[in-house]
Structure 1
Amino acid sequence: MSASRVFALLCLLLAAPALAETGPVRRLALLVGVNDGGPERVRLRYAVSDARSFDKVLGELGGVAPGDRRVLVDVGRAGLLEALGELRARTEAARGSGASRVEVLVYYSGHSDEEGLLLKGERLGYGELRRALNALPADVRIAVLDSCASGAFARAKGGTRRPAFLVDTGSKVKGHAILTSSSEDEVSQESDRLGASYFTHHLISGLRGAADATRDGRVTLNEAYQFAFHETLARTEKTRGGAQHPAYDIELAGSGDLVMTDLRATSAGLYLTEALEGRLFVRDEAGTLVVELQKLPGRPAELGLAPGRYQVRRELESGASEAAFTLVEGQRTPLAPASFQAIPLEATVSRGGPEAVAVASAAPVGTEALVAPAVATVAMAPRMRVPVSLSFIPPLSTNAFRAPGQRVENQFAFGLVNGGTAVRGGALSLVANWYDEEAHGVLLSTGINVVRGNASGLMASPGANIASGHVEALQMAAGVNVAGGDVRVGQMSAGANVAGGSVWGVQFAAGGNVTGGSFSGIQAAAGLNVARGDLTGFQSAAGGNVTGGSVRGVQWAAGFNHAGNVTGVQAALLNVGGDVSGAQLGLVNVARVVTGVQLGLVNVSEEVKGVPIGLLSFEKKGQFHVELYGSDIQLTNLAVKFGGKYVYTTLLGGIGPDDRLERFSLGLGLGVHLPLGERMWLDGDVAGSSVLRVRDPFGGSSNVLGQARLMFGVQLFERFAFFGGPTYNVYVAGSDRDRYSLTTLPAREQWLDPSTSVQYWPGVQLGVRI
């Protein structure tokens, strides 16, 4: 299965005065990156980094001051709406600051579908988003959405897919412009090779100067869009996700160009000379790809970059070359063909596939597919194939004799210690299997298996299985299983399982399971299960379960459970969750909003949209009342009622002056509250109490008073009500010492045996609630 990734671009609403500007332009930006689209969506890799890259280019070249930019990471629906509200307030303040024109840019990268944005399992509809954008009191409003099916957002105003053409828009226009990265029925894609989504990557490259067709040192919206359109279409035509067709819908009236970035704003610049040609890939000192463009001969160009060290790779049909340069404050650095040195041709190897020359694969985003294997580019000579390796240790093996000093790939390997570059069929060793790049097939060892890249098939050893990359295999060990990336199939060990990425499959361990990303499948341990992302499936442990994200399924433990939001069942001695849809079953249950059942000795929640059943149930939005009442049993009684809106627990206590204050009662009840309009209500409960002596409360009383009570109430004020109603009472005395005449009303009495008597009678009670 292939990954889902999202892309929708630019909703632009512009309104500026017809008079010439006399003051400065003020720009505000809100940039949102959400990798988590919810339990049913694959977690994205580059949505957050896309937002940060956009923030960086706006700060360096877009004229947006640090205090006017805000970046939100993995925010939910409520968080985004709150940020849009804050942006509206900041925009109003900016209009009053003396600026001649106020421009606002909202950028979103994450999951979406035909109906709206998908934020951590919550939906923000396109209509709601459009209303929030229209409410921004700015002269120029730009919204950039990087998400799947983005054409649906444009279509809401009549947009259709069109050629890459954009009429000039400028500072004196009225109307709107909606630009999208893909049509309403297309996925948008991200690339491991780029470390970003295709459209955002090329849009940022364009804003850094690659789109400056007029060579005036400024990049307009028109130039940036056309550059991103052509580059995205060209680079996605042969990907697995298929070609992306950016589209737009424009209704603008005005003149001039809307300048997005000014290359002269940076204190350092890279000047590409006329003679330079080829596709250029510019990376910063950290190795991040910051600009990609096709440089044509005979036309100089300039890129706006921050001071620092960079490396650039140039690709031509005749080969590849590289250059390094340093941009210095206050200087323009020229880059000419003489700056480059040739490098060996690449052997591009598809992980898990045959050796081939290919571009990086692209995984579509926005569906439930798993992330597609990326293409690993290795700047080395091709591997030499040695079908079978016999090895004592790697230096004493058939690989060393047949291909000394070379990268070797085996089909099968047998020996005391097997090692090399890669194996594709399987390896059997008495001590260890160790491969530097990848291993596929069956790896069996009495010691350990180590793969420094990706692995697929079966890895089994009594010691440990370690893979630095993704694992599409079953790892089985008596010791430890470790995967640096994602795991698809499973991990089983008597010790512990660790996955740095997400897991789709099973994790079984007597010690513990740890997943750095999301988990889909079954996670079971005698010790502890930890999933830092979302969990879909079944999580079970004798110790405890901890999930950093949401749970969809069952979370069961003999000890404790902790999760974000829960959809399903959470069962343990202690359960702690966010919003719970389903059931919490345990001695102590803690949640924010419960839709379903909360069953436990103690239940704590903010709100229950269902039934809390417990000895003690505390609900913030539920009820808490103190009642003072008299009855035919005791003249003075005190009750405390607390719980949900409809189900409550009550603590009862009473004492009667009519028996010279010699006896008192303590009890507990469970009841149902039914509102009858705004000022009336009906409570019904069952309660059990014990009648104790004041002088000797622990003197061995053996009695119980059972009551069924019906109370009709009238709310006179917010915290004051009258109530009253009938009761039915059963009093069981286990000895002559406990055989009291409790009621002032007639009661019937029966003897169950010579020492046990039962009294029963209808009664009444009246009181006030405060």
Structure 2
Amino acid sequence: MRALVILLFALGAATSSHAAEASAVRRLALFVGVNDGGPERVRLRYAETDAKAFALVLSELGGVLPQDRVLLTDVDRAGVLAGFDRVRKLAEGVRASGARRVEVLLYYSGHSDDEGLLLKGQRLDYGELRRSLEGLPADVRIAVLDSCASGAFARKKGGVARPAFLVDSGIQVKGHAILTSSSADEASQESDRLGGSFFTHHLLSGLRGAADVTHDGRVTLTEAYQFAFHETLARTERTQGGAQHPNYDIELAGTGDLVMTDLRATTAGLVLTEPLEGRLYVRDAVGTLVVEVQKVSGRATELGLAPGAYRARREFDGGVSETAFTLKEGVRTPLAPGDFLGVGHEATVMRGGGGGAIAPLSPQGRLQLPVNLSLVPTMSTNTLRAGRAQVENRFALGVVNGGAALGGGLALGLAGNVYDAEVSGVAMALGFNTSGADVDGAQLSLVTNVAGGAVRGAQATLGLNVSNGDVDGVGQLALGANVARGALGGVQAALGANVTTADATGVQLSLGVNHANGTMKGVQFTLGLNSVATAARGIQGSVLLNRAPSLTGMQLGLINLGGDVSGMQLGLINIADTVHGMQLGLVNVSDEVHGAPVGLVSYEKKGQLHLEVFGSDVQLTNLALKFGGRHFYTTLLAGIGPDDRFQRFSLGLGLGGHIPLGSRFWVDVDVAGSQVLSTRDPFSGRTNTLLTQGRAMLGFQVMPRLAVFAGPTYNVAFTWGEPEFAKLTTLPVRSHTIDTDTRMQRWPGFQVGVRL
């Protein structure tokens, strides 16, 4: 089940007499694509692709500036709401800058049901979605949902269906329109052949010009929707999911064109001439289907496309033909029937001088030739048999293999394998492997592997692995570095660095750097740096540094940096915001600890920080600085005395616990060790005296910053070398000679003092 929630905005295209008003219009857009609907939902393949494709069309032809758009992929409920907040702030800034009109577009592609959007196991109900939309300070808000049961959003309170959209000559329309790809009880479907959802694919084809029935170079919301309605219904009637019936709900008032795209906005264009007819499929250089249109003869049709190389496939009167062309800046390129070459003529294999066998076509419209032998892609059996047509092979052998795709087989390249689109199977080379789209299988090389899309399987090399999409399966293995420009579901292992630009679920192992630019669920181990951009759930282990803004699990390293930590930080230096668990290290720093900070120095911003002045049987005057958490603390000790001659002083350190007894009474229990030194010659080295103490203090809080305390101590003093003091206390002691150079004294004592 999939949901493609598109919030399209109305592009108010004014006539020449309203050029001044049009210049005051700002168009904002939020595009969201989420493949993951939760553990009970099948992971989609094209939700993120659809969101990116829609953003591209509106950027090229819809007047959405780069700074006025927000593109989000693989986000949860909070991420979508944060996206709304970003758009709201953009709209407020636009209003403040003096714009007289703000129009908003939001595009969401993902899962949904009859109650709301389903985002990584979380639900954003339609009521909250509508409130978020209505909360945007815009004149026009349009929502289009391509989703299972998406009609449920349109039938919610807030709109009444009307027979047609407003089309007028001004730019004064205000309100909202909601378009849905299916009714409240229908499924919305995506297609591997299209590389996206049916509804979005046909809507984008319409926006690129296929829906321009008035031939004025502009596509209105009415034209785009009606085109997508008829094409989606026709193309889904025979699918397993059943027919989709797009729907809509409009509440608009005023006058003005709701123009979605202006075909004159692009610097290049494709003109389908009047004589040309048939069903046309236009693909870009990497094989992505960008436009599908049923062309009728007798009138020309212009399509808005960016400059670049393209291929067109034509189905007409039972035959199939193809052509290749390049769109250039500032040029409208015509396409006529004579530009096409019949695929059957190029794909014929002669046997024994007899007739020909026409090679079959893949679902993507490519010629399927089982074997390719090549020196380089232009000098290969693919070129000899198919010319410039796109070819898909199952087995390839050569110096550098190439083609449109590898269709579930094996490619062996001495130097490399280069495929324009997807690779399904295994590509092996001594040098490099590249694919223009997804890899389902493995890329194995000595130098580098590059996937233009997702990797479902493995990439292994001595050098660099790059995936421009998600990585699932075994993962990426390299001596150099691994880069996944999407989510990770598997293993990244490298001597150098592992990087994923989205969430990671699995393991990252390296000697240098591991980084997940999203949530990490699993394990990161390295000698250098482990880094997570949002949250880590699992273990981070490094010799040097671990960093995570939020941690559920454990950090093990010399330096651990965490935001909200639920678990344990174990290292030389531990730093966190809020800790639910334990910090164990030499130095612990936090805002707040619900647990135990155990270390030589532990500082908690919301913990305790006290100065104590007290006297004891050992020292006449003592100062102590206590700092740490609510229940565990570190204390620094200094004392001098006890007689008037001030023959000695002491410096020490203690660790202990704080036990509240109601609102005013408390008990502190700790152990401490102090070095006792002579005031005359503290560093002579002739003697060394160590005082160890176990202390218990019962305190009473007189006021917020004043308490009194008293309690017993048990003291053990060790002396090495020539003794300078007969004993350290005025109380009776028990003395023991351990050896000729070491003596011990022990006794119970007391202390009384005040705490500030």
Instruction: Tell me the amino acid that sits aligned with residue 369 of structure 2.
Output: P
What is the match of residue 523 of structure 2?
A: 538
Post-superposition CA distance 1:450-505 (Å, at most 9, x none): 76668878999xx959765577667889x679576776553798956846566544
What is the match of residue 134 of structure 2?
A: 134
Distance of aligned partners of 1:647 and 1:288 in 2 relative to their CA distance in 1, 3 Å threshold? farther
> What percent identity do the matched residue pairs reach?
39
Indicate yes or no: 2:359 matched with 1:359: no
Structure 2 CA distance, aligned partners of 1:675 and 1:77?
Answer: 44
- Once the two structures are overlaid, the 10-residue window that deviates more, 481-490 or 416-425, is 416-425
Distance of aligned partners of 1:657 and 1:181 in 2 relative to their CA distance in 1, 3 Å threshold? farther
Post-superposition CA distance 1:130-151 (Å, at most 9, x none): 4333333433233556777756
CA contact (8 A) 2:369 2:393 kept: no
Instruction: Tell me the amino acid that sits aligned with residue 134 of structure 1.
Output: E
Q: Give the deviation of 1:715 after TM superposition.
A: 5.9
- Once the two structures are overlaid, the 10-residue window that deviates more, 37-46 or 228-237, is 37-46
Structure 1 CA distance, aligned partners of 2:325 and 2:650?
Answer: 90
Q: For structure 2, which runs of at least 5 residues remain unmatched after alignment?
A: 12-17, 348-358
Instruction: Tell me the amino acid that sits aligned with residue 752 of structure 2.
Output: V
Distance of aligned partners of 1:451 and 1:637 in 2 relative to their CA distance in 1, 3 Å threshold? same
Q: How does 1:146-225 map to 2 (within 5 A)?
A: 157=157, 167-169=164-166, 176-181=176-181, 199-225=199-225
Structure 2 CA distance, aligned partners of 1:271 and 1:618?
Answer: 71
Q: How does 1:346-425 map to 2 (within 5 A)?
A: 357-359=361-363, 378=366, 380=367, 382-384=369-371
Indicate yes or no: 2:7 matched with 1:7: no
Q: Give the deviation of 1:690 after TM superposition.
A: 0.7
Distance of aligned partners of 1:552 and 1:291 in 2 relative to their CA distance in 1, 3 Å threshold? same
CA contact (8 A) 2:177 2:250 kept: yes
Structure 2 CA distance, aligned partners of 1:674 and 1:33?
Answer: 51
Aligned partner (choices 663, 668, 674) of residue 654 of structure 2: 668
What is the match of residue 615 of structure 1?
A: 600
What is the match of residue 696 of structure 2?
A: 708
Structure 2 CA distance, aligned partners of 1:452 and 1:66?
Answer: 29
Instruction: Tell me the amino acid that sits aligned with residue 222 of structure 1.
Output: T
Structure 1 CA distance, aligned partners of 2:283 and 2:215?
Answer: 23
What is the match of residue 611 of structure 2?
A: 627
Post-superposition CA distance 1:364-406 (Å, at most 9, x none): xxxxxxxxxxxxx64x5623599xxxxxxx99xxxx99x9989
Structure 1 CA distance, aligned partners of 2:441 and 2:94?
Answer: 59
Indicate yes or no: 2:477 matched with 1:490: no
What is the match of residue 729 of structure 1?
A: 713
Structure 1 CA distance, aligned partners of 2:492 and 2:201?
Answer: 36
- Secondary structure of 2:5's counterpart equals coil
What is the match of residue 676 of structure 2?
A: 692
Indicate yes or no: 2:599 matched with 1:583: no
- Secondary structure of 1:324's counterpart equals strand
Structure 1 CA distance, aligned partners of 2:401 and 2:252?
Answer: 68
What is the match of residue 321 of structure 1?
A: 322
What is the match of residue 353 of structure 2?
A: none
Structure 1 CA distance, aligned partners of 2:599 and 2:187?
Answer: 48
Structure 2 CA distance, aligned partners of 1:202 and 1:475?
Answer: 34
Instruction: Tell me the amino acid that sits aligned with residue 9 of structure 1.
Output: I
Structure 2 CA distance, aligned partners of 1:157 and 1:278?
Answer: 43
Distance of aligned partners of 1:512 and 1:185 in 2 relative to their CA distance in 1, 3 Å threshold? farther
- Secondary structure of 1:275's counterpart equals coil
CA contact (8 A) 1:709 1:728 kept: yes
- Secondary structure of 2:689's counterpart equals coil
Post-superposition CA distance 1:320-354 (Å, at most 9, x none): 2335365665x8x473534633253699xxxxxxx
Q: Give the deviation of 1:544 after TM superposition.
A: 5.7
Structure 1 CA distance, aligned partners of 2:284 and 2:273?
Answer: 20
What is the match of residue 261 of structure 1?
A: 260
Indicate yes or no: 2:650 matched with 1:649: no
TM-score (norm 2): 0.70
Post-superposition CA distance 1:651-675 (Å, at most 9, x none): 3233346544432332233434769
Structure 2 CA distance, aligned partners of 1:603 and 1:265?
Answer: 62
Distance of aligned partners of 1:740 and 1:616 in 2 relative to their CA distance in 1, 3 Å threshold? same
Distance of aligned partners of 1:715 and 1:458 in 2 relative to their CA distance in 1, 3 Å threshold? same
Instruction: Tell me the amino acid that sits aligned with residue 132 of structure 1.
Output: S
Instruction: Tell me the amino acid that sits aligned with residue 574 of structure 2.
Output: N
Distance of aligned partners of 1:546 and 1:335 in 2 relative to their CA distance in 1, 3 Å threshold? same
Distance of aligned partners of 1:482 and 1:219 in 2 relative to their CA distance in 1, 3 Å threshold? closer
- Once the two structures are overlaid, the 10-residue window that deviates more, 197-206 or 120-129, is 120-129
CA contact (8 A) 1:50 1:196 kept: yes
CA contact (8 A) 2:140 2:176 kept: no
Q: Give the deviation of 1:636 after TM superposition.
A: 5.3
Instruction: Tell me the amino acid that sits aligned with residue 321 of structure 1.
Output: E
Structure with more contact order per residue of length (Cα contacts < 8 Å, sep ≥ 6)? 1
- Secondary structure of 1:168's counterpart equals coil
CA contact (8 A) 2:285 2:311 kept: no
What is the match of residue 341 of structure 2?
A: 342
Structure 2 CA distance, aligned partners of 1:87 and 1:419?
Answer: 46
Structure 2 CA distance, aligned partners of 1:57 and 1:418?
Answer: 35
CA contact (8 A) 1:412 1:423 kept: no
CA contact (8 A) 2:141 2:177 kept: no
What is the match of residue 363 of structure 1?
A: none
Q: For structure 1, which runs of at least 5 residues remain unmatched after alignment?
A: 15-20, 348-354, 361-376, 387-393
Distance of aligned partners of 1:95 and 1:166 in 2 relative to their CA distance in 1, 3 Å threshold? farther
CA contact (8 A) 2:191 2:197 kept: yes
CA contact (8 A) 2:622 2:638 kept: yes
Distance of aligned partners of 1:194 and 1:608 in 2 relative to their CA distance in 1, 3 Å threshold? farther
Q: How many residues align?
A: 694
